[in-house]
Structure 1
Amino acid sequence: MTTNSPAPAAHLESLRRSWLADLEFLAPEAPQHLKVAEVDFLLAQWSQPHRRYHSVQHLTEVLTAIDELAAARACDAVSTRLARVAGWYHDVAYDPQAAPGSNEHRSATMARDHLNALGVTRGSVDVVESLVTMTINHDIDGGPAHLASWRHTAAVFHDADLWILSSPTDRYREYAEQVRQEYAHVPPTLFRQGRTAILADFLTRPVLYRTDLAQRQWESRARENVAAELDRLRA
């Protein structure tokens, strides 16, 4: 059984430095102590003991995937910063027993309130909030109209959040187990039905990913992983 083990101190410090660098760009006039307090709050949320998949490990994977896509020039420097900040907030509120969409809306509201308090510009806050709410169904095309002008940012964030589908086999199996642990309160039959519906929907999409790099390097492996999990669920 996997556990939500505390992240090494060196890794947490690296995450803190990354956050502070992004906020220095997006909120240069915010007092340092407020930016530090915010990242400490965020890491505390991501480290809550009830989390199994939606943990610091997932946060790190999303940020790493954003950086990989940015290195492939899938988006510019500003978009990268916004996608990374959205990564910090997209699961900051997480209760596996909450109603569908509730976690995402709570996280988006928290992002708006906290970023406003830090002095991030309204336009940037709007983009981050919309990226977070997009994770309800991972539908870029159905997002707010103003995201159309940030389509590269949305594509990068979308793909980074779904990177896990394309992860190496051992990591994918661990991820699937972590999700089941988070939903341990759901009876096995109902869990299989719900999980099957979510995964089957992904496979009906013409493409899982929106960036060129992800389509070239992640798409095939993701479809293999999802299909294999569906086979296990239906066995």
Structure 2
Amino acid sequence: MVSFDLRHAWTELLPGQPALGAELLARWSEPHRRYHDTSHLAAALESLAELGGAARVERLAIWFHDAVHTGRPGADERDSAELARTRLSSAGLHPHDTAEVARLVLVTVHHSPTPGDPAGARVSDADLAVLGSDPIAYAASVAALRAEATGTPEDVWRETRLNRLAELLTTEPLFHTATGRHRWLVRARANLLAEQQELLDAT
């Protein structure tokens, strides 16, 4: 269980903006969320810290990266980036930093930061760190994803998930930081392969 004080983390990150922090926590706590919730937010922030991501723009990117979640991959991240632009501009963040936060949010669409983008690499890896968690935690994350897709028939879910697993298993590199590869890559591949085999056995 993640034990991360999100309210304290926000106050430390952007002092003087409690209303914005409350809005973001409310978004992450929406009742339809099962995976993209405050537990994922806290875990991603912890993973970012493990990767050395102390910069404010990187932490803000994690706070905003799934702030909009309506089950539309890609569109949700783009809307989240736009939300970051709007809210952070209103909060008085420097325009350069606001643009950088939005850019980093968009990195999480495809998790393919360009070479020479260490901030993007850290944000991407922090978002995907769950893939390298222990098997029980990984299985719980998959179950949470399935719970979010309540209206999806089982056969459609299975096909969609198998396609996603094939994509992740052929992505090179899956993790873009040396620390991410060292900590999570071996276990991530084992988790992905185990889930893939389980789905294939169920067909």
TM bucket normalised to smaller: over 0.9
- 12, 20, 39: which one aligns with 2:21: 39
- 115, 137, 143: which one aligns with 2:110: 137
Asked if residue 19 in structure 1 is aligned to residue 10 in structure 2, the reply is: yes
Superposition deviation, residue 207 in structure 1: 2.2
What is the 5 A alignment of 1:1-235? Answer: 14-24=5-15, 32=16, 35-70=17-52, 77=54, 80-96=55-71, 98=72, 100-141=73-114, 151-235=117-201
Q: Which runs of 5+ in 1 are unaligned?
A: 1-6, 25-31, 142-147
Question: Which residue identity is paired with 1:198?
Answer: R
Question: Which residue identity is paired with 1:87?
Answer: I
Whether the aligned pair in 2 keeps the contact of 1:207 and 1:219 (CA below 8 Å) is no
Q: Percent identity?
A: 34
Name the Cα RMSD after superposition.
1.8
Superposition deviation, residue 123 in structure 1: 1.2
Residue deviations 1:80-99, cap 9 Å, x none? 32111111100011112x3x
Residue deviations 1:36-55, cap 9 Å, x none? 00101111110111100000
Superposition deviation, residue 107 in structure 1: 0.7
Whether the aligned pair in 1 keeps the contact of 2:68 and 2:77 (CA below 8 Å) is yes
Question: Which residue identity is paired with 1:48?
Answer: E
Residue deviations 1:121-177, cap 9 Å, x none? 111111110111121221213xxxxxx76x111111010000010011110000010
> Which runs of at least 4 in structure 1 moved beyond 3 Å after TM superposition?
none
Whether the aligned pair in 1 keeps the contact of 2:68 and 2:80 (CA below 8 Å) is yes
Give me the TM-score of the superposition, normalised by structure 2. 0.93
Question: Which residue identity is paired with 2:31?
Answer: P
Mapped partners of 2:19, 2:141: distance in 1: 30
Question: Which residue identity is paired with 2:104?
Answer: L
SS in 2 for 1:135: helix
Whether the aligned pair in 1 keeps the contact of 2:108 and 2:123 (CA below 8 Å) is no
Question: Which residue identity is paired with 1:45?
Answer: R
Question: Which residue identity is paired with 1:15?
Answer: L
Residue deviations 1:62-81, cap 9 Å, x none? 000011111xxxx5x4xx32
Give me the TM-score of the superposition, normalised by structure 1. 0.81
